[in-house]
């Protein structure tokens, strides 16, 4: 127990706590049998309840509540206003063996305003998004998007928390948008007037090598687009420059639980060099940040090497293959990492016109 901390008037450390860190913010309270190792940083106005262990490489923001019986191992980062329920278990070694230590400890990040229900278990390297709610007893194996409510083992999204904490239970759905604006590109909802452009792209001898075959009939293409206009489970976008020149297509479809599929991703010859990366980032920003999906799945023709290499550089995991295709998935965490890595290609937030 450190007297230097205990005796400061503007914070309270119970005499039965063992606190080695000197970094504890104003008006924080630390109760009986709490152990905090040297190096840990604890913000102000926190409440650390009895029987909590906080290791040295842990950061807690301001106004954080840590209920009894919680251990926060190295690598945990907790932002402001987070609630950690009783007996929540954090893990920091995915494949533990006694006396063998991971080379690098993954960070577990709890974004501001998140709450973790009692007895939940958080696997290593997970990000719990802003204001997300993890149900009591959940086993969280994948990162949780902002404002998502997850329950169960493995934890799945069952709804979202609104801005005023009102809940809406239900899985994410793919919906159309009139426009989605990125940095130099715009997605525009496809309509029957795009039939000729789409047909030209899809029947181009080079481009069509890796596509499912398309009938070269303009009327059929128009009919398909009219049928599409009545559907509400997919979004087919024309990719345009901000000047309104169409340069490609992309489609979001086949929602499965919290994962969406994307494809029909074609760019015309002569499109700007950065259009591929920017449009991929826009697809993910729209699906993850706006529609609240948590992951994506898609397939790529084995022969379409430049495209599967692109997805692999982006962080997608090859999970299976068929005679023709490689099947990929990509999770929330990896998508967020990619957004960070390629942030110069997108504005702070994409603009969505519904």
Ligand X SMILES: CC(C)(COP(=O)(O)OP(=O)(O)OC[C@H]1O[C@@H](n2cnc3c(N)ncnc32)[C@H](O)[C@@H]1OP(=O)(O)O)[C@@H](O)C(=O)NCCC(=O)NCCS
Tell me how crowded residue 7 is: count the other CB atoms within 10 A of its CB.
9
Q: Are 166 and 159 in contact (CB under 8 A)?
A: no
Q: Does 149 bind ligand X (CB under 6 A)?
A: yes
| Residue 114: CB minimum distance to ligand X, A | 12
- 235 closest CA partner among 293, 275, 156, 184: 293
Q: Does 69 bind ligand X (CB under 6 A)?
A: no
Of the ranges 123-131, 145-153, 251-259, 287-295, which one interacts with ligand X (CB under 6 A)? 145-153
Q: Which residues contact 33 (CB under 8 A, 6 or more apart)?
A: 16, 17, 50, 51
Q: Are 217 and 200 in contact (CB under 8 A)?
A: no
| Residue 43: CB minimum distance to ligand X, A | 20
For 114: left if phi > 0, alpha if psi spans -120 to 50, otherwise beta; the answer is: beta
Q: Which of 23, 53, 105, 136 binds ligand X (CB under 6 A)?
A: 136
In this complex, which beta carbon is closest to ligand X, that of residue 94 or of residue 167?
167
Of the ranges 45-53, 149-157, 177-185, 269-277, which one interacts with ligand X (CB under 6 A)? 149-157
Binding to ligand X, residues 239-258 (CB under 6 A): none
- Could you tell me how far CA 330 lies from the centroid of its own chain? 10
In this complex, which beta carbon is closest to ligand X, that of residue 133 or of residue 144?
133
Give the H/E segment covering residue 310: helix 305-314
> x/- site string to ligand X, residues 8 to 37, per CB under 6 A?
------------------------------
> x/- site string to ligand X, residues 160 to 179, per CB under 6 A?
-------x------------
Max Cα-Cα span within the chain: 82
Q: Is 343 helix (H, G, I), strand (E, B) or coil?
A: helix
Binding to ligand X, residues 112-131 (CB under 6 A): 117-118
Q: Judged by CB under 6 A, how many residues of this single chain contact ligand X?
A: 13
In this complex, which beta carbon is closest to ligand X, that of residue 145 or of residue 182?
145
Please compute, for residue 212, the number of CA atoms within 13 A of its CA located in the half-sphere on the CB side. Answer: 4
Q: Which residues bind ligand X (CB under 6 A)?
A: 85-86, 117-118, 133, 135-137, 149, 151-152, 158, 167
């Amino acid at each position: 127990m450190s007297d230097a901390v205990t005796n400061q008037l503007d914070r309270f450390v119970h005499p039965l706590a063992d606190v080695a860190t000197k970094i504890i913010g104003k008006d924080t309270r630390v109760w009986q049998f709490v152990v905090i190792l040297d190096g840990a940083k604890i913000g102000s106005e926190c409440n650390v309840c009895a029987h909590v262990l906080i290791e040295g490489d842990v950061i807690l923001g301001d106004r954080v509540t840590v209920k009894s019986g919680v251990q926060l191992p190295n690598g945990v980062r907790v932002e402001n206003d987070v609630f950690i329920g009783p007996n929540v278990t954090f893990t920091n070694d995915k494949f533990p063996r006694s006396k063998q230590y991971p080379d690098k400890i993954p960070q577990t990040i709890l974004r501001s305003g998140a709450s973790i229900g009692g007895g939940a278990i958080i696997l290593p390297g997970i990000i719990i998004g802003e204001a997300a709610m993890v149900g009591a007893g959940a086993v969280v194996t994948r990162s949780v998007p902002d404002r998502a409510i997850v329950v169960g083992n493995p934890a799945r999204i069952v709804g979202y928390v609104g801005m005023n904490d009102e809940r809406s239970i239900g899985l994410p759905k793919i919906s159309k948008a009139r426009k989605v604006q990125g940095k130099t590109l715009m997605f525009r909802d496809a309509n029957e007037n795009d039939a000729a452009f789409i047909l030209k792209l899809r029947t181009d001898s080079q481009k069509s090598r890796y596509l499912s075959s398309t009938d070269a009939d303009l009327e059929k293409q128009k009919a398909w687009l009219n049928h599409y206009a009545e559907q509400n489970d997919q979004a087919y976008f024309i990719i345009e420059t901000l000047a309104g020149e169409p340069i490609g297509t992309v489609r979001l479809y086949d929602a499965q639980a919290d994962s969406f599929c994307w494809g029909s991703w074609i760019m015309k010859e002569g499109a700007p060099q950065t259009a591929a990366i920017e449009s991929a980032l826009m697809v993910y920003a729209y699906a993850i940040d706006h529609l609240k999906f948590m992951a994506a799945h898609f397939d790529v023709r084995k022969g379409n090497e430049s495209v599967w290499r692109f997805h692999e550089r982006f962080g997608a995991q090859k999970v299976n293959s068929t005679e023709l295709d490689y099947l990929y998935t990509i999770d929330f965490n990896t998508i967020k990492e990619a957004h960070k890595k390629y942030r110069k290609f997108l504005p702070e937030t994409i603009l969505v016109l519904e």
